[in-house]
């Protein structure tokens, strides 16, 4: 599987030993998206995202933004944070978005995000949850940085898809697509059951809402003979059936955060270790004012680097 081939490594982060998938230095964009026959998947996912994403807002966080594939979908937002563990992918995003001052490029660990509580009006996560070794911990962290009544648009790889059901029925797959627990089919690559996702979101304080299915026609021979425009149109027409059943490998779900405290005006970054709010960078460094912490984080050429302290 290509996803496994693109995997670069894992890295335990300070107080949290949970492994993190690291695409640092990878050629993910070229190997997976550019001229790789995935125009249909890209366009079908954009259709689903537009259906669920609030068109305007103050602050948006793209979780696992990579090279900024979906950044042009966020035109209605005042400030957009492209967040990823890979500095090199964020540099790629920066190369083609540098002209737009609304975008911030932040490298860090999604289990310890460098943001104050209650900051973001909208959270987006597409094609990245499958690398979450501890999805509930990630959901808790996203709930922390979500403003009251924030929208969270999540896409996840569903284990309860038609292909998995057929393979399981014929004994060609050991794990059951009906078992609610996540399955790690390759190191740091997980599929999730839709009911399990709903339950975990609810536990941390999100209220799950509308569900859409996408990539109904993710079948290479079919994509070669049927025009992409037609496949996307058909996919768009079928996506709302996700409210009743989910048989596709890709599922979108929208949620809302509950009540809570909003971020203080002008506050934005926080130390990912102790949560102390951070001021403006000085000489390319952001320093934690907490005397028991004192960690410093580098800001270089517009990239806020919280991946490792200086």
Pair 130, 157: CB distance under 8 Å = yes
pLDDT at 81: 98
Backbone φ and ψ for 74, nearest 5 degrees, come out as -110, 30
Pair 81, 100: CB distance under 8 Å = no
Nearest to 22 by CA among 86, 67, 83, 82: 86
Top pLDDT among 1 and 267 is at: 267
Q: Which two tokens stand for residue 250?
A: 């890709």
User: Which residue ranges make up each domain of the chain?
Assistant: 39-267, 269-310
Pair 231, 39: CB distance under 8 Å = no
Residue 71's contacts (CB-CB under 8 Å, 6 or more residues apart) are: 62, 65, 80, 82, 93, 97, 103
pLDDT at 98: 85
Q: What is the pTM of this model?
A: 0.94
- Residues 77-96 have pLDDT tens digits of 999 999 999 999 999 999 99
**Res 52 pLDDT > 70:** yes
- Residues 100-129 have pLDDT tens digits of 999 999 999 999 999 999 999 999 999 999
Topology (CATH) of 39-267: Rossmann fold (3.40.50)
> How much of the chain, in percent, has pLDDT values that exceed 70?
95
Residue with tokens 């403003």: 147
């Amino acid at each position: 599987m290509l996803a496994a081939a693109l995997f670069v490594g894992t890295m335990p982060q300070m107080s949290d030993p949970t492994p993190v998938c690291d695409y640092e230095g990878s050629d993910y964009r070229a190997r997976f998206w550019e001229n790789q026959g995935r125009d249909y998947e890209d366009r079908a996912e954009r259709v689903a995202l537009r259906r669920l994403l609030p068109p305007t807002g103050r602050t948006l966080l793209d979780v696992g933004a990579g090279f900024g594939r979906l950044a042009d979908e966020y035109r209605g937002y005042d400030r957009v944070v492209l967040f990823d563990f890979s500095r090199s992918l964020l540099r790629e995003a920066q190369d083609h978005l540098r002209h737009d001052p609304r975008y911030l490029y932040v490298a860090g660990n999604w289990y310890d995000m460098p943001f104050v509580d209650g900051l973001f009006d909208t959270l987006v996560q597409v094609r990245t949850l499958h690398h979450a070794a501890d999805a509930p911990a990630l959901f808790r962290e996203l709930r922390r940085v979500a403003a009251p009544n924030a929208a969270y648009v999540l896409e996840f790889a569903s284990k309860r898809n038609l292909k998995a059901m057929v393979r399981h029925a014929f004994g060609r797959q050991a794990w059951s697509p009906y078992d609610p627990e996540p399955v790690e089919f390759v190191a740091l690559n997980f599929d999730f059951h839709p009911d399990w996702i709903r339950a975990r979101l609810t536990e941390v304080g999100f209220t799950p809402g509308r569900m859409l299915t996408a990539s109904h026609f993710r079948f290479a021979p079919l994509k070669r003979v049927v025009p992409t425009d037609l496949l996307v149109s058909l996919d768009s027409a079928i996506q709302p059936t996700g409210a009743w059943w989910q048989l596709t490998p890709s599922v979108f779900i929208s949620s809302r955060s509950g009540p809570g405290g909003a971020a203080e005006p002008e506050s934005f970054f926080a130390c990912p270790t102790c949560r102390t709010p951070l001021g403006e960078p000085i000489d390319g460094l952001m320093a934690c004012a907490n005397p028991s912490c004192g960690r410093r984080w580098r800001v270089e050429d517009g990239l806020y680097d919280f991946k490792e302290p200086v």
